[in-house]
Amino acid sequence: MKEEEIIEAVKKINARNGKPVDEELLAQIIALVMKNPIDEDRQRCQSQILEIINQKKGEAD
Amino acid sequence: MIIQDIEIVNFGPFFGVQKVNFNNGGLGVHLIRGRNGDGKTSIQRSILWCLYGIVKDRNGKDIKPTSLLNYTARKRDIYDFYVNLSFRHEGSTWLLHRRMQGKSHSDREYTTHMNLSLTKNGEVITNPAQVIQRMIPSDISRFFFFDGEMLSDYEELLYTDVDTKFLKNSIESVLGIPYLKTSREDVRIVQKMIESQRNKILRRLGGKEFDEILKQYDEVQGNIDQCEKNIEAMGNQLTELETDLFSKKRDLSKIDSIKKLSLDRIRLESEIKNLQSKREMELTKRSQYTSQLYKKVLTGTSQSLISKLQGMHDRVMEKYDKKQKLLGEKDLISKGMAEQKCRTCGTILNEAKLNDLRSQLREIDIKIDALTEIPEPNLEFEEYAEVLRKVISFDGRKESIIEIQNRIDNVDYEIATKKSQLNSIRESLAGQDEEEPKRIEMQIRDIEHEKGRIEGSMTAERDTLNEFRKLKSELDQKITSIDQSELKVLGKRIETTKAIIQILEEAIGEYREQKKLEVQNEATQIFRQIKSKDSFDHLQINDQYGLGIVTNSGTVLDRGELRSSGEEQVVALSLIGALNKCANTDVAVFMDTPMGRLDEVISEKVLRFIPKLAEQVTLLVTGKELRHGDEKFLEGKIMSDLTVKHINEEEGSKIYHTREGDTV
C-alpha cells in the first residue's frame, strides 16, 4: 500500500519547512484519513484528529 | 481485492443461477470468451452492481433496476435478482451479497427492497456499502473494471482546451491525491473547532476588551465563512460550466466529422449488403451439402439401383429395337405386295412369291404381337441415373459443412460488428442540421464568457478571503498575548493546525507532480512493450494526465488526428496499465473488449504484457480479439478459461468451461 509513500512525501516537505511540525502527528493524521476516506467518516475522523492534536499539544507542551 | 467467485442470479441475460469460478484462488489470468451480445459486459456489470448498487450504460447513464432483471424471470413473474461476490482482500475472505426483490416489476419496489450484506471471515460487517467504498471508491472503479469500448474517453485528456475534470479527478483518486485534500479539509475544520473552544473561554473571561476582540473575531469569521461558501458555490458553477463546455465541444467535433460519418455509413451499408449476399450463398451451399451428405449415405443402394435400372433399360431397348426392325420389314413387304414388285430389285412378283410373302408377313405379325407388351423406352431413365451417379461421385465430408458453417459464423460476426458500427453512426447522424454547428459555437462562446466572469469573481473573492484571514491572524495574535494559560494552549493548537494545513497544501501540488511523473514513466515502459512503430520513443504527460506520443525525432503526437485509432488504444491501455501500477490500492483488473481496435501484431504484444498488469487479470474477449492459438502469448498464465454463450431468448446466456472447438 502507498500509505507510507504519501506520508513520506509530506514528511519531506515538512522537513524543508522553517518551522517543521511534529512528523508523527502528520503521519497519524494522514493514516487516519486514509483509513476513513469517505464522507460518512468525516465527523468521526475530525474528532479523532482533534483528539490527537490535543494530546500532542497538551498543557505540558 | 482478488475476486474468487461470482454467482449471478436472474441478472441481465442470465436466467437462474450462473457461476464464475476463478481458479488458483483468483490469481493469474482468466479468460471469459463470448461473442458480442452473449453477456460478457453483463458479467462485469454484475460485479459493479454488487459492489455499488449502480450500473451505468456506455453513455454514462444509470441502468434502471427493472432493466437489470432477466427477461425470462420477468416473464415468469420472478421479481428477484442477486449477485454474490466472494473475494480476498488484505488477507481476509469476504462475501458480498446484493439482492433486489419486489412484489411487482417496478424500480421503486426493487430499490425499496434492496438487500446488501457483507461478511469478513464469516462475521457480519455493519455498514457494508461504506466498507466497500473504503476498499475501492466507486469513482476509481472504471480503471479496474474497464470497458475497451470506452477507451476513447481517455483521448479527451489530450485536449488541454477541453476540461475533463471528472476524468482527471478519477485519475487523481487512483493516485491517492484526495487523501491529502481530505486531510487538509479535516484539519481546517479541526482548526475552527479549536477556535470556537478558545472563543468560549474568552467569553467566559468577560471584560470590555475581550468582548470587543470577540465581536471583531465573530465578524471576521462570519465574513470568512461567507467567502468560503461563495468560492465553493462558484467552484461548483465552474464545474457545471466546464462539464457543459466539454460536452458542447464534443458535440461540435462530432458535427465536424459528419461528412466522414456519412461516407462511412454508405460504405458500411454496401459492405453489409455484400456480406448478406455472401451469407445467402453460403446458406444455399450448406443446404446443398447437407442434402447431399444425407444422400451419400445411400451410395450402396444407388449403385445397385443404377445396375438394376440399366439392366431393365437395356432389355427394354433390345426388344424395342427388334420390334422397330420387324415393323420396318413388315412395311417393306406390305408395300412390295401392294405394288406386286420387289422393293429391292424391282422383279415382278408371281402368285407363289406373293403367298410366300403373305406367310412371312403373318410370321412377322405374330412376332410383333409377341412384342406388343413391350413399353416405349423410359426417356427419364437417363435423368434418374445421372442423379444417382452424382450422389455416388459427391465428396460429401462432414468437415465441408463445418467449414461452410464457420464461414457463415464469420460472416454473421462481421455483419453484427458492421451493423453495430452503422447503428452508432446513424445515432450520431440523427437529428443533425446545418445550423447546429453555429448554434453550438454560440453556446460555447456564451459558456466561455460566463466561465471567465465567474473566474474573475472567484479571484476577487479569494483576495477578499485572504484579507479577512489576515485580519483574523492579527486577532489571533491579540488573543495569544492574553496572559491566560488555557488560551495559550489552544493558541498553540491553532498554530499547529495552520502549519499542518500549509504543509498539506504544498504536499498536494508536489505529490501530484511526483505521481504524474511516475505515471508518465510507467506508461512509457508499457508503451515501449506494446507500441506499433519503432519511431515512437516515449510518452509525455500533460496537466490533465493525457499522454502524447513523442517520436525519436522529438515530435509530439498529442492530437487524436495525428494518431490512428489503434495507436490511441495502445496509449489508453498504457495509461490504464500505469494507473494500476501507481494506484494506491491493489484491485483485480477486468478488461472488457480491450483489443477491439488492435491488429494481430499489437494484440500479441498486449497479450504478452497482460500477465504483468495485476495479480488478477480477467479478459472478456471475442474470438476476433483472442484468436485461436493466441493463448500461447499469455505464457501459461491462464488459470481459468470460460465461455459465455447466449442460448436463446428463453434460456438466456450460460457460462461454462471453454471446450475444444468452441467458436466465439
pLDDT digits (tens, 9 = 90+) for B383-440: 777 777 776 666 656 667 888 888 998 898 889 888 888 888 887 777 666 577 778 8
pLDDT tens, position by position, B635-664: 789 999 999 999 988 899 999 999 766 655
Q: With b meaning 16 or more CB within 10 Å and e meaning fewer, what string describes B457-496? A: ebeebeebbeebeebbeebbeebbebebeebbbbbbbbbb
| Per-residue confidence (pLDDT) for residue B23, from 0 to 100 | 95
Q: Which three cell numbers stand for residue B540?
A: 509525455
Chain B residues whose beta carbon lies within 8 Å of the beta carbon of residue A22: 496
The DSSP letter of residue A21 is P
Is the confidence at residue B211, as pLDDT, over 90?
Answer: no
| Per-residue confidence (pLDDT) for residue A61, from 0 to 100 | 44
Percent of chain B topping pLDDT 90: 40
| Per-residue confidence (pLDDT) for residue B17, from 0 to 100 | 96
Q: Which three cell numbers stand for residue B355?
A: 403367298
Instruction: Give me the half-sphere count of Cα atoms (radius 13 Å) on the Cβ side of residue B522.
Output: 22
The nearest CA of chain B is from the CA of A45 a distance in Å of: 8
| Per-residue confidence (pLDDT) for residue B337, from 0 to 100 | 84
Q: With b meaning 16 or more CB within 10 Å and e meaning fewer, what string describes B178-196? A: bbbebbbbbbbebbebbbe
Q: Which of A41, A42, A53 sits opposite B497 (nearest CB)?
A: A53
Preferred mutation among A49, A51, A61 to probe B, highest tally of B CBs within 10 A: A49
Residue whose cell numbers read 504544498: B506
- d(CA B526, CA B124) in angstroms, rounded, equals 41
Whether residue B594 contacts residue B618, with contact meaning beta carbons closer than 8 Å, is answered with: no
| Per-residue confidence (pLDDT) for residue B206, from 0 to 100 | 76
- d(CA B495, CA B491) in angstroms, rounded, equals 6
Is the confidence at residue B275, as pLDDT, over 60?
Answer: yes
Q: Residue A54 — pLDDT band, cuts 50, 70, 90?
A: very high
Q: Across the interface, do B130 and A41 touch by the CB < 8 Å criterion?
A: yes
The DSSP letter of residue B33 is E
Sequence-distant (≥ 6) Cβ neighbours of residue B578 within 8 angstroms: B518, B519, B520, B521, B522, B523, B526
User: CB contacts < 8 Å between A and B, how many?
Assistant: 101
B374 compared with B451, residue with greater pLDDT: B451
**Range ranked top by mean pLDDT from B2-11, B160-169, B212-221:** B2-11
Is the confidence at residue B126, as pLDDT, over 80?
Answer: yes
Least confident of B61-75, B369-383, B474-488: B369-383
Is the confidence at residue B12, as pLDDT, over 70?
Answer: yes
Whether residue B448 contacts residue B440, with contact meaning beta carbons closer than 8 Å, is answered with: no
**Range ranked top by mean pLDDT from B164-173, B266-275, B579-588:** B266-275
Whether residue B85 contacts residue B51, with contact meaning beta carbons closer than 8 Å, is answered with: yes
Q: Across the interface, do B496 and A57 touch by the CB < 8 Å criterion?
A: yes
Q: For residue B6, what are the β-bridge partners?
A: B20, B85
- Decide: pTM greater than 0.90: no
Chain B residues whose beta carbon lies within 8 Å of the beta carbon of residue A21: 496, 499-500, 503
| Per-residue confidence (pLDDT) for residue A28, from 0 to 100 | 96
Q: For residue B7, what are the β-bridge partners?
A: B19, B84
Q: Across the interface, do B489 and A56 touch by the CB < 8 Å criterion?
A: no
- d(CA B283, CA B280) in angstroms, rounded, equals 5
For chain B, how many residues are written?
664
Is the confidence at residue B346, as pLDDT, over 90?
Answer: no
- d(CA B579, CA B154) in angstroms, rounded, equals 12
- Cα–Cα distances (Å) from B220 to B467, B471, B615, in that order, read 10, 7, 54
Is the confidence at residue B378, as pLDDT, over 70?
Answer: no
Is the confidence at residue B157, as pLDDT, over 80?
Answer: no
Whether residue B371 contacts residue B326, with contact meaning beta carbons closer than 8 Å, is answered with: yes
The nearest CA of chain A is from the CA of B582 a distance in Å of: 9
Is the confidence at residue B40, as pLDDT, over 80?
Answer: yes
Q: Across the interface, do B499 and A6 touch by the CB < 8 Å criterion?
A: no
Sequence-distant (≥ 6) Cβ neighbours of residue B17 within 8 angstroms: B7, B8, B9
Q: Across the interface, do B183 and A29 touch by the CB < 8 Å criterion?
A: yes
Strand order in the sheet with B145-147: B145-147, B589-592, B616-621, B28-33, B638-648, B652-657
Radius of gyration of chain A, Cα coordinates, nearest whole angstrom: 13
User: DSSP string covering A39-57, please?
Assistant: GGGHHHHHHHHHHHHHHHT
The nearest CA of chain B is from the CA of A11 a distance in Å of: 9
Preferred mutation among B89, B174, B186 to probe A, highest tally of A CBs within 10 A: B186
- d(CA B569, CA B596) in angstroms, rounded, equals 9
Q: Across the interface, do B492 and A2 touch by the CB < 8 Å criterion?
A: no
> For residue B68, which of B55, B77, B78 has the smallest C-alpha distance?
B55
Q: Which residue of B has its CA nearest to A41?
A: B130
| Per-residue confidence (pLDDT) for residue B433, from 0 to 100 | 66
- d(CA B50, CA B519) in angstroms, rounded, equals 30
Least confident of B338-342, B385-389, B505-509, B611-615: B385-389
Sequence-distant (≥ 6) Cβ neighbours of residue B137 within 8 angstroms: A37, A38, B173
Handedness of CA B84, A35, B121, B126 (dihedral sign): negative
| Per-residue confidence (pLDDT) for residue B166, from 0 to 100 | 67
Is the confidence at residue A60, as pLDDT, over 50?
Answer: no
| Per-residue confidence (pLDDT) for residue B72, from 0 to 100 | 94
**Range ranked top by mean pLDDT from B197-211, B288-302, B509-523, B592-606:** B509-523
B185 compared with B316, residue with greater pLDDT: B185
* Numbered residues of chain B with Cβ closer than 8 Å to any chain A Cβ: 127, 130, 133-134, 137, 176, 178-180, 182-183, 186-187, 189-190, 193-194, 485, 489, 492-493, 496-497, 499-500, 502-504, 506-507, 510-511, 514, 583-586
Instruction: Give me the half-sphere count of Cα atoms (radius 13 Å) on the Cβ side of residue B587.
Output: 29
Chain B residues whose beta carbon lies within 8 Å of the beta carbon of residue A17: 499, 502-503
Calculate helix-pair angle for B165-175, B565-582, nearest 10 degrees. 40
Whether residue B592 contacts residue B603, with contact meaning beta carbons closer than 8 Å, is answered with: no
Chain A residues whose beta carbon lies within 8 Å of the beta carbon of residue B514: 9
Report chain B's mean pLDDT, rounded to a whole number. 86
Preferred mutation among B172, B495, B503 to probe A, highest tally of A CBs within 10 A: B503
**Range ranked top by mean pLDDT from A15-24, B74-83, B578-587:** B74-83
Q: Residue A1 — pLDDT band, cuts 50, 70, 90?
A: very low
Q: Across the interface, do B134 and A36 touch by the CB < 8 Å criterion?
A: yes
Dihedrals φ, ψ of B82, to 5°?
-155, 165
Sequence-distant (≥ 6) Cβ neighbours of residue B657 within 8 angstroms: B641, B642, B643
Say how far residue B11 (Cα) sits from the centre of its chain. Answer: 17
| Per-residue confidence (pLDDT) for residue B291, from 0 to 100 | 78
Q: For residue B19, what are the β-bridge partners?
A: B7
Whether residue B657 contacts residue B642, with contact meaning beta carbons closer than 8 Å, is answered with: yes
Q: Across the interface, do B499 and A19 touch by the CB < 8 Å criterion?
A: yes
For chain A, how many residues are written?
61
The nearest CA of chain B is from the CA of A24 a distance in Å of: 12
Per-residue H/E/C for B316-364:
HHHHHHHHHHHHHHHHHHHHHHHHCECCCCCCECCHHHHHHHHHHHHHH
- d(CA B653, CA B39) in angstroms, rounded, equals 7
Helices (H) and strands (E) in chain A, counts: 3, 0
Q: Across the interface, do A41 and B183 touch by the CB < 8 Å criterion?
A: no
Q: Residue B521 — pLDDT band, cuts 50, 70, 90?
A: very high
Q: Which of B127, B186, B510 sits opposite A45 (nearest CB)?
A: B186
Whether residue B124 contacts residue B117, with contact meaning beta carbons closer than 8 Å, is answered with: yes
Chain B residues whose beta carbon lies within 8 Å of the beta carbon of residue A48: none
Sequence-distant (≥ 6) Cβ neighbours of residue B370 within 8 angstroms: none
Q: Across the interface, do B503 and A13 touch by the CB < 8 Å criterion?
A: yes
Q: Which three cell numbers stand for residue B434?
A: 446545418
Report chain A's mean pLDDT, rounded to a whole number. 89
Radius of gyration of chain B, Cα coordinates, nearest whole angstrom: 43
| Residue A34 forms contact with B (CB below 8 Å) | yes
